[in-house]
Amino acid sequence: MRAVPVDENMAVIKKVGVIGAGQMGNGIAHVAAVAGFDVVLNDVSGDRLKSGMATINGNLSRQVAKNVITEDVKAKALGRIALTETLEGLADCDLVIETAVEKEEVKRKLFHDLCAVLKPEALIASNTSSISITRLASTTDRPERFIGIHFMNPVPLMELVELIRGIATDDFTFEAAKEFVNALGKQVAVSEDFPAFIVNRILLPMINEAIYTLYEGVGNVEAIDAAMKLGAHHPMGPLELADFIGLDTCLSIMQVLHEGLADSKYRPCPLLVKYVEAGWLGRKTQRGFYDYRGAKPVPTR
C-alpha cells in the first residue's frame, strides 16, 4: 500500500476518496490505484460508477497492451478500488478529491455534506479547473486543509497537475499534496489562486477566440482546426479540443474568467452559448462542433 506522510503529527495519506466517476474522476482513481493507494470512488449514480469502472478497466488494458504496466499491476490496481454511492463511504479517507461539475453551488454543497462525515484530520482537494480555491475552502470546516489539485484530461496520459493554494491553505497541506502528486509520477505546476489558474487562463481564451473565428465566418470548422494543427503543430484543433473538454465546461471557465477578471476579452462567444443551450456539448452528447453519431466526425458548421 502506498503512503504519503502529511506531517509528524498527522496520519499518512493511504486511502484516497474521489467524488465523481466521470472522465476526470475515473482517471484520478486509475492513476492513484496504479501508484499503490487504496481508492474509494464515489458517485450518486450506480450506473456512472459501473461505467467509470469499465473505463478504468479498458484504460488499464490499453496500458498493458502498450507495455506501460503489467497484468499483475492492472489486477492489483483494480483490487484497490472500492465503490460507494454515499459520502459516508468516504468517511475514513485521508484525502478526498472532488471532481464534480464545474458549478460552484454544486461543489459548495458537496463540501458542506462531506465535512459532516469526514474525519477531522483528512485533507480535501478540488479538481476545479477555474473556481477560486479560497472561496471553496471557506465553505468547509477545514480551510487550512483544503487545496486545489487540478489534473489534466485524460488523466492517465497527461503529465501535469496544477497545485493551487487558497489563502488559508497550510504548508503541511501543500507539501502533502505535492508528495501525493509526485507519487503518481506527475509533474507539479504551482499556480496562484486566480480565475482559471495557468493552463485554462491561456488555453480557454484561445478556444473561445477560435469559436469567434467560426462565428464571424473567418473560417469553417475544418479550416480552423486544420490551421492550428498544421500551422501551429497543435495535436488537436481548438474546436475538436473544445468538444473533447465539453462545451459546457468551456463556457463555465470563460464565465469564471469574465466575471472574475472583469475584462471584455474574456466574454464567452455567443455561438458557444448557443451550442450549450442546444445541449450540443461535444463528444459526451455526440454533437458539438462535430457530429459524432456516424462512422467519422462531421463538422456541424
Q: Within 10 A of 275 (CB to CB), how many other CB atoms are there? A: 25
The continuous run of DSSP H or E covering 98 comes out as: strand 95-98
Q: Name the one residue in this structure whose C-alpha cell is 488499464.
A: 60
**Are the beta carbons of 214 and 301 closer than 8 angstroms?**
yes
14-52 burial by CB neighbour count: b if 16+ within 10 A, else e?
Answer: bbbbbbbbbbbbbbbbbbbbbbbbbbbbbbeeeebbeeb
**Are the beta carbons of 197 and 128 closer than 8 angstroms?**
no
∠ CA 279-136-247, nearest 5°, is 20
Catalytic residue among 127, 200, 208, 252: 200
Catalytic residue among 98, 102, 162, 240: 162
Catalytic residue among 30, 42, 150, 208: 150
Annotated catalytic, 162? yes
CA distances from 172 to 6, 145, 218 (A): 6, 8, 51
Exposed, middle or buried by CB within 10 Å (0-12, 13-18, 19+), for 86?
exposed
Annotated catalytic, 150? yes
Catalytic residue among 59, 129, 130, 191: 129
Contacts of 39 (CB under 8 A, 6+ apart): 15, 16, 17, 18, 29, 32, 33, 80, 81, 82
Q: Which residues are catalytic?
A: 129, 150, 162, 200
